[in-house]
Amino acid sequence: MLPPRILRRLVLAPLVIVVTVFMLVTLPFWLVVTAAASLRLPPPQRRGLRFVWFGTAWLTLESAVLIACLWLWAAGGARRQELHYALIGWFLSKVYGAAGRIFRLTVDVEEPEPTEEERAARLTRPIIVLSRHAGPGDSFLLIYHLLTRYRRRPRIVMKAALQFDPSLDVVINRLPNVFVPRTSGQEHVIEEIRGLAATMGDQDALVIFPEGGNFTPRRRRLAIRRLEEKGLAEEAERARGLDHLLPPRPNGAIAAISACPSADVVFVAHTGLDELVTLGDVWRKLPYSARITAKWWRVPAAEVPRDRVERIHWLYDHWERIDAWINAQRLPAQGAGPRVDRAG
């Protein structure tokens, strides 16, 4: 259960700063202990030192964001959205820079070459981003690129549990976003999405993860069963053909498109850190050199179907396209992949 906001501000936020100071003061000790422990492990499993460095870097950046937010609040700038978007961009750029140096993270973003009309429309129309849900690493990358590469102001629909992260809690709650509680009814969530979409300006981007959670075989089976119980035989059959994705839940995406019909729609496929969801996953499976690959498809507003049934079919069409793209990325992963540029 999520603690009340006042408790999160008075306990969790200061606790992060205290832990950061402790880690910085005792860092030499942790490095020596971790290095000694790593000597007993084969080289591919010597992740300890990297985790200590990255954990310390993350805590330091978290504390810097919290101190900046406190300064903005004291200076009367807590409502200035442009400052908070800049703060998020700074934080994510430093995180990916650290990941690039410590974990040898590389990122390759593939996007079709835009036409002259698409290039002109990039900052003259809002966009609705429908992305695969595959863990925080890939999701943070999406927000990072929207902010830094495309100069967009993301509005995100995300799980309420993410507010346990103090810096995320403070910054995101000062911006137009939606946190979805586990017990929240679907109609409430849909209304929140409509509100976000209806008030978008030309530089805004509404980010939705239609799957509602990370892919697991069990979640896939349950999702297909729910479709069958609702009598949606065609959708259930198409969901069975997806190897890497959960079937999309269309109501949120359709609500956003209906509330902002002038918006282009961007579909996002990504893979690389899909299996790294928990800290245990990261410890066991993180490779010596990490890599994220992403691809974006943009659909102009005029080409988005208007009928609800057609929109559902269209959404499944793109989900199948994303699934096929992930399959194609994983096939050459056995050998050497294409050259990529270092993040950060």
Domain residues for the domain of 206 are 5-210+248-332
Q: Look at residue 338 and tell me if it is in a domain.
A: no
How much is the pLDDT for 37? 77
User: Alpha-carbon distance 178 to 343, whole Å?
Assistant: 28
Q: Look at residue 235 and tell me if it is in a domain.
A: no
339, two tokens? 């050259």
How much is the pLDDT for 285? 55
DSSP states of 233-294: HHHHHHHHT-SS-PPP-HHHHHHHHHH-TT-EEEEEEEESSTT--SHHHHHHH--SS-EEEE
Structural contact between residues 299 and 321, judged by C-beta atoms closer than 8 angstroms: no
Structural contact between residues 201 and 126, judged by C-beta atoms closer than 8 angstroms: yes
User: Alpha-carbon distance 282 to 44, whole Å?
Assistant: 13
Q: Look at residue 104 and tell me if it is in a domain.
A: yes
Structural contact between residues 266 and 129, judged by C-beta atoms closer than 8 angstroms: yes
Q: Look at residue 252 and tell me if it is in a domain.
A: yes
How much is the pLDDT for 51? 85
Q: Look at residue 101 and tell me if it is in a domain.
A: yes
Q: Look at residue 43 and tell me if it is in a domain.
A: yes
Provide the total of helices (H) and of strands (E) in the chain, helices listed first: 13, 8
Strand order in the sheet with 291-299: 178-180, 153-159, 204-208, 127-131, 264-271, 291-299, 106-110, 341-342
31, two tokens? 């490095």
Report in angstroms the alpha-carbon separations of 127 from 78, 81, 151, 256: 26, 18, 12, 10
Q: Look at residue 228 and tell me if it is in a domain.
A: no
Q: Look at residue 96 and tell me if it is in a domain.
A: yes
Per-residue pLDDT of the chain (344 residues; tens, 9 = 90+): 788 899 999 999 999 999 999 999 999 999 898 888 777 766 555 677 888 898 999 999 999 999 999 999 999 888 899 999 999 999 999 998 998 888 888 888 887 766 676 666 666 789 999 999 876 666 788 898 899 888 899 999 888 888 999 999 999 999 999 888 776 667 888 999 999 999 999 999 999 999 988 888 899 999 999 999 999 999 999 999 999 999 999 999 999 999 999 999 999 998 876 665 555 556 555 656 677 788 889 999 999 999 999 999 999 999 999 999 998 887 755 444 433 333 33
Per the structure, how many domains does the chain have?
1
